[in-house]
Amino acid sequence: MRYLVQAPRVDFNGEVAGVRFADGAATLDTADQMPALGYFQRAGYVLAPLDEPAEQPTKPTPKARQRAAETEQGAQQ
C-alpha cells in the first residue's frame, strides 16, 4: 500500500527514515518501507492512503455457517 506523507514543515526537503521528501511531501510504499510508516505515525506526520486497501477474506462465523446450513436444508425440503 502506498501513502502520501506530509512532513510537519511544508518547506522540508530531505530524507527521513529512508524516505525522500520534497516541499514537505513524500510517497511511502509499505512493501519497501514498512518501518518508516510506524515512525511517521508515532512522530505525528500526516498520512493519506493513495491505494484502496486490499479486501481481507473473512471466515464465516459459526452462526453464519449455521444459518447457511438451515437455509440449505429448507431449500432441499
Question: Hey, where are the domains in the chain?
Answer: 1-51
Write out pLDDT tens, residues 36-48. 999 999 999 999 9
Please report which confidence band the pLDDT of residue 50 belongs to, taking 50, 70 and 90 as the band edges. very high
Q: Mean pLDDT, to the nearest integer, of 72-76?
A: 66
Q: What is the largest CA-CA distance in the chain?
A: 71
Instruction: Report the first-to-last Cα separation within the chain, whole angstroms.
Output: 48
Quick one: pLDDT at residue 13?
98
Write out pLDDT tens, residues 2-37. 999 999 999 999 999 999 999 999 999 999 999 999
Q: Does the predicted model carry a pTM greater than 0.75? A: no
